[in-house]
Structure 1
């Protein structure tokens, strides 16, 4: 004849859930087979403690037992019988003492939802000045028909395998290993009547539209976090976050380097030789740079505070304009004649002083061949 479950655990009938769990740990610690190898009586006592705990720790089963005693489970224990082996109990007994050698203590309850990533492409002007964008993302949302429980009637039962912990632990000598419960898949609860909409998952695929405020000064690789806008957590757990990664499209004029901007400014050969003032584009409109006479192609001019205002320090970068002397094309007959006359003036040794780079290059080539032939 089976003993009374309250008597097995040594608790009163009005004992709290915490008292029952504490009594079970004490009983299991005393009779566990690993502590009593070969002792059949201890093994039987351990199984008796385990069976009593599985009933009294489950609110529904406990009410049935209080009303009908052992007769309530003559045809099987309503939510499933004792789990296989001793894995869950090892976690309950030794978890607080030794911890989990391979990865910390066992997690209780469902984990939060997964984080979601989204890549947002922006024009340079949008990234520099800031913008508000509407985006649409695919995600897992909480099922409204079952309030995220996965149960059609919203009733969940404590998993009989892991006793609601969501994890099972196996002891091998001094080593402890754990894994998600294979019966409830880590939820700690089982569903008798799955929701017909989400099929017991508690979540459904959905497309969500969000408004994202992008601060001024962001650059490619920056991320904006929207807390709680990721996937819904399983079994009503908190949702994950949404991370929006910024990607700035190439610009036809400017190239960005941190908070600085770079651009090329084409000028005519006459402007480079005689000097001139040219207008250049900036993010704030046009600005002027003065080209001194005899400016060489590739010369860089710096315009302070005409770059990007940093999203972090709020300091502003500079604009660097590199002038490129452009070879004239589609010449008229008159222009060609003038250039030919101009070129004719570069003769003899006097031409060297008009083309310093060319003269240096010619001297270098001459020296190279002399070394090669000597």
Structure 2
């Protein structure tokens, strides 16, 4: 069954537009065809979007369309141009941004797994890799998209899909929330989920390493908080210490952290929210002394839960991106000295977030590491010269 030009609903981007961009797909297009706008010959595919735009705006806004519409290509002389495009929603968004046209409400509700394609299409129209696309004009759009999502409740798979978009659109609060939830709620290794065919669209490896580092730190703090009281029982001299220690171990077991060899199967949040942790229950042994009773206090465990729950605020994009003194080393030690971990950052955070965020953008850190290596080599060569 053939689709025809007249049957396609046209979306008006520019009411005074002089060019129609007709988007089609060849996927699942068996039995579908339409007549080419350039020569009238049948093309196997389905038209799933047509947009009236300004040729001048498209040429001025996109190197991709500049090459297509202002050169010796056949499209430069056509009023209707056919373009193969699998995601017309992403295309429409960019066309509206180019024209500074009102973005309809529906474009703020696109599925999470389509946001990566918006980035990929930005790379296409700018003729760069998706990871190098300039997304400045779409930051407000992404901000509104996130406002409509219930970030505290979306699934961990959806969080993984949002990792790179939050990073690429420089959304500090979104990135912090996503990385915090993954650190607390993932039992296994934290990874991204790619939603595009562009393999360049991914986080720098050191950022993913930092999320996993923060997750490991939370686990260590949780274990340390629960097991440190055992030392106080072992060092005690009272006759009831054995019974009290056994009672404490029984209480710990109910939190789900025991046995330790199975800990990797549970996330930090799973353990913190376990009934045995929330309502820590210890049966005080008969004849326990005052000291042992105080060690078995429920407030001790409540403090561990509270401390671990608020330990990590997520990764901070400002700490990743900025070297406020202009020097990576000086900036690191300045923060460490002042203890103002979130100074000048868009999110409030403590020392753990600063520590795990201080990784820098991959390119910046590579250049920094190269300079340090060159300085070491120069120093070594000078030392050898002096010794001669």
Instruction: Give the TM-score category using the shorter length.
Output: under 0.3
> Relative contact order, CA 8 A, sep 6+: which one is greater?
1
Give the strand-richer structure, 1 or 2.
1
Q: Which structure's residues are more often helix, by fraction?
A: 2
Q: TM-score, normalised by structure 1?
A: 0.25
Q: When the two structures are superposed, what TM-score results if normalisation uses the length of structure 2?
A: 0.24
